[in-house]
Amino acid sequence: MDEQKKVSIEGLPTGSAGLDSVLNGGLPEYSLNLIAGPPGSGKTTLAHQIMFANASRERPALYFTVVGEPPVKMLRYQQQFSFFDSDKVADGTIRFVNLTHLALANDLNGVLETMTREIQTVSPSVVVVDSFRTVMPSQAADGGATQWQGFVRSLAVHLTTAQATTFLVGEYGELEDQYNPVLTVADGILWLFQSVQGNSMVRKIQIMKMRGRATMSGLHTLRIAADGIEVFPRLHRPFQRRPRLVVDHRRLSVGVPGVDDMLGGGIPEGDSVLVAGPAGSGKTLLSTSFINEGIRQGEPGVIVVFEEHPDAYLDRAKRIGFNLDEWIHQNQLRVIYLRPLDLSVDETLEAIRQSVDEVAAQRVVIDSLSGFELALAPTFRDDFRESMYRLVGSLTGVGVTVLLTVEASESLNELRLSPDVISFLTDDIVLQRYVEMDGQLKRVMTIVKMRRSAHSKEIKSYEITSDGLILGQTLKGYVGLITGIPTPLEKMRRPGSSSC
């Protein structure tokens, strides 16, 4: 028996590449969708963005306003977004119809007749009703629940037969009655949320329902920007410039003589490396050298900074011999500055993904995790470990070698490799410490961990000079170096001295 031929359902773009990914290819054509959420969550902006992304002379759009703000006022604000095309409004490609007078008179039949007449006249491909929810309350209060249900079902049938993709916009609570007829007849439900914690407010979107589509589950970060609604999927979008790099287990140099030897010949390609140390220990210097050396060997890179502006970062790098500006001009390097206090991991990952694709990067530095966590909105800090797992895994999953820095601010007699126990996410760990010796603080470095690879067990001193990081000698004849307060072996062997 021949396999039954499936009906093909086209996907309509939403104007947001991230939301299209969440929807697994856009919105199903001819579907009836509910865009719900509290005031200010972006419902009207999303509806306009979808409408402008799909309306054309051959496929016009109808926008019905019900009780909400007048079309003139609404358009004045929507014109501020880049997706707005005034020509489409002027030539009738997008037509606005105000139903406020009928809705205020509780004339559901009049509303339905007017909408039916306009749809028959225009033959639109997209229909928006905003705000649809405002029609219901007065009817339900007057005992007109049955009439309201009939109105919803009649409208749904008519819009479906008209072969229009429809969007009903309304303010619905998260615990809305599950038997609401709108929720029942809708093919798709896009729910927008606003999460407020302390002084931070973050918008999110969830696809509660979408017939005929295997959508991406969970809550996804949403931001209203100059281009309109931007959605950052919880699960990363694939890198586009190339498939996974062919990792041949090469050793990548960090560009500091002696450190490669401590690493057993360099960092294994495709690994994630954590450089942990206190402020001023040279974490940024080592990571900058790692990127610079990679580009020098034909491996483009991306640097993500959180704690200082790129201009200051580049200027400081130049003063110690790294002319990163030249690599940027040659399209071999991107320096991303991410510092808003309501940042999400998904936004960060999207910015990195774009930059990695632009330069076909093979090395990425994130400086630092401490600054990254501080820049996150409070609601995202709760799952920081999970977020870091997704971020690092998405990069190393395509063969990119990742170096992360983290500030270790513990006292000298304690040792903790990283906050939030995120050290397990990395393949390799380089530890930088201050130790007290002969009345001075000295810097020391050691390799704590390297998966699947041999490495030096030595603890070496190093200096930070105008020429960069200079590795010194192995420190011998002491115990307790890693605690920051070493004891000379000679002192321990003296008569009367306590021994370990």
Residues 122-166 have pLDDT tens digits of 999 999 998 777 666 444 455 556 777 778 888 888 887 788 999
Strand pairing class (460-465; 468-474): antiparallel
How far from chain centre, in Å, is Cα 314?
A: 25
- Exposure pattern of 337-361 as b/e (b: 16+ CB <10 Å)? bbeeebbbbbbbbbbbbebbeebeb
29-35 average pLDDT score:
93
In a domain, 3, yes or no: no
Contacts of 204 (CB under 8 A, 6+ apart): 192, 193, 194, 195, 219, 220, 221, 222
163-167, 180-184, 493-497 — which one is most confidently predicted on average?
163-167
Residues 261 and 201 in one domain: no
228 — pLDDT class (breaks 50, 70, 90): very high
Instruction: Give the per-residue pLDDT at 246.
Output: 57
Q: What is the DSSP letter of 149?
A: H
Query: What percent of the chain is predicted at pLDDT more than 70?
Result: 84
Residues 153 and 23 grouped into a single domain: yes
- Residues 415, 485: Cα–Cα separation, whole Å: 11
* Residue-level pLDDT at 412: 41
Average pLDDT over the chain, rounded to whole?
84
pLDDT digits (tens, 9 = 90+) for 354-379: 899 999 999 999 998 888 877 777 77
C-alpha span between 389 and 68 (Å, rounded) = 44
Per the domain annotation, does 486 fall within a domain?
Answer: no
Residue 378 lies in a domain: yes
Residue 435 in domain = yes
Task: With cut-offs at 50, 70 and 90, classify the pLDDT of residue 440.
Answer: confident
Last residue of a domain, one of 203, 232, 261: 232
| Residue 460, domain member (yes or no) | yes
CB 367 within 8 Å of CB 284 = yes
Residues 175 and 277 in one domain: no
pLDDT at position 414, please? 47
Where among 204, 232, 260 does a domain terminate? 232
Which two three-digit tokens encode residue 490? 């000679």
Residues 226 and 311 in one domain: no
Note whether residue 339 is domain-resident: yes
* Pair 303, 375 in one domain: yes
Q: Which residues contact 327 (CB under 8 A, 6 or more apart)?
A: 292, 295, 301, 333
CA-to-CA distance for 489 and 500, rounded, in angstroms?
Answer: 11
Does residue 90 lie in a domain region? yes
Question: 127 by DSSP, 3-state: which?
Answer: strand
C-beta of residue 139 within 8 angstroms of C-beta of residue 79: no
Amino acid 200: pLDDT: 73
Q: Answer yes or no: do 291 and 207 share one domain.
A: no
The size of the chain, in residues, is 500
Q: Do 324 and 226 share a domain, yes or no?
A: no
> Which residue among 188, 204, 232 closes a domain?
232
Judged by average pLDDT, the poorest of 180-189, 234-243, 297-306 is 234-243
- Per the model's pLDDT, the better-predicted residue between 47 and 494 turns out to be 47
Q: Which domain holds residue 110?
A: 11-232
More confident site: 3 or 492: 492
Q: What's the mean pLDDT in 313-340?
A: 90
**pLDDT tens for residues 41-63?**
999 999 999 999 999 999 999 99
The dihedral through the CA atoms of 370, 372, 374, 378 has a sign that is negative
Q: Are residue 188 and residue 297 in the same domain, yes or no? A: no
Give residue 181's pLDDT. Answer: 74
The answer to whether residues 59 and 95 belong to one domain is yes
Q: How many structural domains comprise the chain?
A: 2
Residues 103-108, mean pLDDT to the nearest whole number:
77
Cα of first residue to Cα of last residue in the chain, in angstroms, is 81
Could you give the residue ranges of the DSSP H alpha helices within 267-405? 283-296, 310-319, 324-329, 345-359, 369-375, 378-381, 384-396
**pLDDT of 491 over the 90 cut:** no
**In this predicted model, what pLDDT tens digit does every residue of 394-426 receive, in sequence order?**
888 888 999 999 887 654 444 454 455 566 678
Q: Contact at 8 Å (CB) between 196 and 158?
A: no
Given a cut of 60, whether residue 468 has pLDDT beyond it is: yes
pTM: 0.78
Neighbours of 214 (CB within 10 A): 9
The domain that holds 430 is classified in CATH as 3.40.50.300
Which run of H or of E encompasses 273?
A: strand 272-277
3-state secondary structure 432-478: EEEEEECCEEEEEEEEEEECCCCCCCCCEEEEEECCEEEEEEECCCE
Q: Tell me, yes or no, whether 177 and 293 share the same domain.
A: no
Q: Which residues of 216-248 are buried (b: 16+ CB within 10 A; e: fewer)?
A: beebbbbbeeeebbbbbbbebbebeeeeebeee
More confident residue, 103 or 454: 454
Residues 177 and 275 in one domain: no
121 and 53 share one domain: yes
With respect to residue 497, please indicate whether it lies within any of the assigned structural domains. no
- Amino acid identity, residue 384? F
Say yes or no to pLDDT of 86 above 80: yes
